[in-house]
Amino acid sequence: MDGDFSAEKPKEIKLDITKMGVGLLVSLSFFMLGSIGNYFVPKIHSYAFMIIIVVICKVANLIPAYYEESAIMFNNLIVKNLTAAVLAGIGIALIDLNVLAQSLTWQFMLLCLTSIITISLSAGLIGKLFGLYPVEASITAGFCNNSMGGTGNVAVLSASNRMGLIAFAQMGNRMGGAIILIISGFLIQLLS
């Protein structure tokens, strides 16, 4: 197989409170750029613009290493310190046990089970074809993309003890979500 698929160790970043603040500002800057894009093209969601801008900047290598490290440090701060609080908060605030109990029919359970098995097996097999570890491919591309976004990613990855894959899970959700937002934005305008 062409290409080097060996895993490289992530570069250790020394903790710095100033860099965390810079990372927050980098994140907010991309959020603002996405909002500006949405102002001019309201059919496309601001998050989709934000993700597209981040991907373009990353692929074109427009962001200096200092700002990338700052954004990574801010992301690590949020993921490591607020994961449990976010999971608990969403679990308590958003789950209505009466609605949950009513929706647990055998048809719904069969649909969920079929969906999870199909996408996870497909992701694992396709990942193996590309030289990836099938279990990790199934978790990030299968389970995480079949969960409820960022919080679902955290729940799946913490349950499987693979929090190191959060960046891949987030990228899959965000790119897939951005594509869905763009397509649905155009379809809603066409069909309404």
pLDDT in tens, 101-159: 888 889 988 988 898 888 889 989 998 999 888 988 888 877 777 776 666 777 788 88
> For residues 78 and 73, what is the distance between their CA atoms, to the nearest angstrom?
9
pLDDT attached to residue 4: 52
Q: Per residue in 43-64, pLDDT tens?
A: 888 888 888 899 899 889 999 9
Pairwise CA distance, residues 122 & 17, whole Å? 42
Using pLDDT thresholds of 50, 70 and 90, give the confidence band for residue 1: very low
Cα 62 to chain centroid, rounded = 22
Instruction: Record the pTM.
Output: 0.55
pLDDT at 183 over 90: no
- DSSP for 91-114 reads HHHH--HHHHHHH--HHHHHHHHH
pLDDT at residue 36, as a whole number: 96
What is the separation of C-alpha 188 from the centre of its chain, rounded to a whole number of angstroms?
24
